[in-house]
Amino acid sequence: MPSRQTLKYSFFTAAETLGLQRLLLNNATGRVRVVLFHSVIPDGETMPNAVTVSEFHQQMTWLAQNTNVVGLTQEGHWRGLRDDALNVHVSFDDGFVNTLTHAVPVLRALGLTASFFLLAEALRGRRPAFLETYQRRGTRKQLLSLMKPEHARELLHAGMCVGSHSQIHCDFRAYSTAQAVDDAKRSRDTIEEALGCRVGAFAFPWGFFSPPQLAPLLAHYERLFLTAHGLNTSADRVCCRNEVESLTHLKATVSGLVDVKSLASSRYAPTFP
């Protein structure tokens, strides 16, 4: 019997063949779709939640040819938005050095920029607890390095945006509103001080938060990023994001087909950082 994954991909491929994705793409002009990655690794290597360099290159090439890829300023404002095209923003969580090594050259070659959400305490050498999950799954140690200030400065130099992914990746649902604001604010201050730049964007660890935290956090950040799936308007300051795992998945995600399909299945629940 075919696996769920195979059925899902057959559905996406059939919809693409029928032109359904193209129709959905054209329907979303002026909106902003944010896609989410964690790691980009050399071809032939394996790591949970990662895409290979070749896959990433294919995906970014498709995005550049079929959508308007937008950047984010350090202040957290969209850069290069168009109202006659579907805008797509590429983002990376957790601050793995592998994204600097393997994703940035691909982005630069295509003239694209992306945002990278870093852990403030990792800039100071602290290791978040979630790395144990990767280690248990046998990920090679070198792929698990997290960015230090010198890496983050390279991102800025390459025209990328650096945002905050909190102090050290705690679950914000366990925080009071005051604790959430304190963590997010301190992480911003640490990154700003380490890099000498403004930080105006924040992505919740695992996408977890409590709704009352949003308004107070918007007093300190221009834009907040979740992992709830969806399409954003250009004015949204709390933005949905969709994680991406392959070219087929990217096409379905960017067009919105993945959301159409998920309406019929269970709600998305993030299981990874």
State the Cα–Cα distance between residues 209 and 47, nearest whole angstrom. 26
Minimum CB distance to Zn ion, residue 189 (Å):
20
Eight-class DSSP state of 67: S
Per-residue binding string, Zn ion, 201-230, x by CB under 5 A, is ----x-------------------------
Q: Which is nearer to Zn ion, 24 or 119 (CB)?
A: 119
Tell me which stretch binds Zn ion (CB under 5 A): 24-32, 87-95, 105-113, 155-163: 87-95
3-state SS record for 38-56: CEEECCCCCCCCEEEHHHH
Residue 179 token pair: 């604790």
Residue selected from 93, 183, 222, 243 as contacting Zn ion according to rule CB under 5 A: 93
State the Cα–Cα distance between residues 221 and 196, nearest whole angstrom. 17
Minimum CB distance to Zn ion, residue 187 (Å):
12
State the Cα–Cα distance between residues 57 and 67, nearest whole angstrom. 15
Closest Cα to residue 31, out of 72, 91, 82, 75?
A: 82
State the Cα–Cα distance between residues 163 and 161, nearest whole angstrom. 6
Tell me which stretch binds Zn ion (CB under 5 A): 185-193, 198-206, 207-215, 233-241: 198-206
What 3-state class would DSSP assign to 161? strand
Residue selected from 34, 67, 94, 166 as contacting Zn ion according to rule CB under 5 A: 94
- Per CB under 5 A, contacts with Zn ion among 137-196 are none
Confirm if 58 and 266 have CB atoms less than 8 A apart. no
Q: Which is nearer to Zn ion, 56 or 117 (CB)?
A: 117
Minimum CB distance to Zn ion, residue 165 (Å):
6
Minimum CB distance to Zn ion, residue 91 (Å):
11
User: Number of residues in contact with Zn ion, rule: CB under 5 A?
Assistant: 4
Per-residue binding string, Zn ion, 241-260, x by CB under 5 A, is --------------------
Tell me which stretch binds Zn ion (CB under 5 A): 17-25, 107-115, 181-189, 200-208: 200-208
Eight-class DSSP state of 101: I
- Beta strands (DSSP E) in 175-257 are 201-203, 223-225, 238-239, 242-243
Tell me which stretch binds Zn ion (CB under 5 A): 58-66, 72-80, 93-101, 235-243: 93-101
Give the interface with Zn ion as residue ranges (CB under 5 A).
93-94, 205, 273
